[in-house]
Amino acid sequence: MQWGGLGTSILAIDQLVIKFEPRLATIYPMTDEKTAPKPEHFGFLQVPNYSMIAFSSAIEPLRMANRDAGKELYRWSVYTIDGLPEKASNGLEITPDGSLENASDMSILFVCGGADIVDTWSKQLQFALRRIAKRNNIKLGALCTGSYLLARAGLLDGYKCTIHWENIASLREEFPEVRVGDDLFLIDRDRITCAGGQAAMDMMLKLIHDRHGNKLVTHISEQFMCERIRSSDDRQRIPLHLALGSNQPKLTEAVTLMEANIEEPISLDELSNYVGISRRQLERLFQKHLNCVLTRYYLNLRLNRARLLLLQTSKSIVDIALACGFISAPHFSKCYRDLFGIPPRDERRKLQLKSAEEATDLAG
């Protein structure tokens, strides 16, 4: 029996696959099902308001790896604490495969975080994560702000990890025993964390590369039209020198020094000496390229750091003021109100009222 006049037997379908998809055949030659390795199983724990873009960016490379290889290299399951759907931050829901209690046969469990991560914490979650961590041969990972939940459960002590850049300062303050970086993703022994967003895809491509090689990863990135595969050495935010161009190294160096000296601000004379230009020259650079007075720029850096700590931690206002280089709480409060239009105490109270109202709505 002939097929479509091509003079090729239907029984020779394997040859047709090799003929029309040579790239896939060179990546993964066909093997006997009995000798084929068992697919690696990843679990994803969704919590309320998890980031959908981080979740889908982690899942899609696995799907494409299976498609390009022509066989199941990976499988994945979605879990929640109680087995009921959780809404993502964009309002969408995915039906989970079950509760975390019934999760089994995983090599990695990723905690999928997102907005308002502090509000998702519970003793039940802590117990479930610690129970998973005690199992043999299971690694723990996190997407976006999921690192906060692992840290609060005591499962990142002594590990290097990363988290979305908005939460870096608060995670460092609240969990000093955790080594928090600003990398896109970090793999430290049996802990695998990423900053969220498209960094989840970069992380997965790294895991696929380490297990199945460069050819498959290159093909996956081409399918997703990735301009390049980023490594864990890439920083999360766009470096200032890219925003300004490469012609302002002194300005970039000055801002980097400011960001590294929030708790104990350095004087402007010290800053100019470190950078190697006069104070007046440095002030002109800030005014010309950042449209801001140098002292105001430094103050705003400290106040923005303080606001993150205020909204993301339970630290006292006095402790936050000291952590951001202010010598007194009244001075901090005045500067904060001048920039944000509301005193820090009222800002925190407003957040607490909002959380209480949301809790009442959920209970109702």
Q: What's the pTM?
A: 0.70
Those residues of the chain that have pLDDT short of 50 are: 1-26, 30-31
Domains of the chain: 31-223 (3.40.50.880), 240-355 (1.10.10.60)
8 A C-beta contact, residue 58 and residue 203: yes
8 A C-beta contact, residue 262 and residue 325: yes
**What local confidence, expressed as pLDDT, does residue 232 receive?**
77
DSSP letters for 332-343: HHHHHHHHHSS-
Q: Read off φ and ψ for residue 2, nearest 5 degrees.
A: -100, 155
8 A C-beta contact, residue 160 and residue 169: no
Helix axes of 268-275 and 279-289: crossing angle, nearest 10 degrees? 90
8 A C-beta contact, residue 143 and residue 58: yes
In 3-state terms, what secondary structure has residue 248?
A: coil
**What local confidence, expressed as pLDDT, does residue 139 receive?**
96
C-beta atoms surrounding 256 within 10 Å: 14
pLDDT tens per residue across span 237-278: 766 665 666 678 899 899 989 999 999 999 999 999 999 999
**What local confidence, expressed as pLDDT, does residue 239 receive?**
62
**What local confidence, expressed as pLDDT, does residue 36 receive?**
64
Query: What residue has token string 């600003």?
Result: 182
**What local confidence, expressed as pLDDT, does residue 19 receive?**
32
8 A C-beta contact, residue 244 and residue 252: yes
**What local confidence, expressed as pLDDT, does residue 137 receive?**
86
**What local confidence, expressed as pLDDT, does residue 59 receive?**
97
**What local confidence, expressed as pLDDT, does residue 357 receive?**
65
Q: Beta strands 185-188 and 191-194: pairing type?
A: antiparallel
Helix (H) / strand (E) containing 112: strand 108-112
